A and B are shown apart, each in its own frame.
Chain A
Amino acid sequence: NAGVTQTPKFQVLKTGQSMTLQCAQDMNHNSMYWYRQDPGMGLRLIYYSASEGTTDKGEVPNGYNVSRLNKREFSLRLESAAPSQTSVYFCASSETGHSYEQYFGPGTRLTVT
Chain B
Amino acid sequence: SQQGEEDPQALSIQEGENATMNCSYKTSINNLQWYRQNSGRGLVHLILIRSNEREKHSGRLRVTLDTSKKSSSLLITASRAADTASYFCATAGSNDYKLSFGAGTTVTVRA
Contacts and interface: CB of A to CB of B under 8 A. Distances in A.
Interface of A: 4, 33, 35, 40-45, 48, 58-59, 90, 92, 96-107
A104 B4 contact: no
B99 interface: yes
Interface in B57-110: 88, 90, 92, 97-104
Contacts, number: 57
Interface residues of B, number: 25
Given A42-B88, A42-B104, A97 B43 contact: no
Contacts of A4: 42
Contacts of B40: 107
Given A98-B30, A105-B42, A42 B48 contact: no
Contacts of A48: 98
B99 A107 contact: no
Given A42-B103, A42-B104, A58-B98, A90 B42 contact: yes
Contact of B97 (A59, A90, A100, A105): A100
Interface string B8-44: 0000000000000000000000110100000011111
B41 A101 contact: no
B1 A59 contact: yes
B43 A43 contact: yes
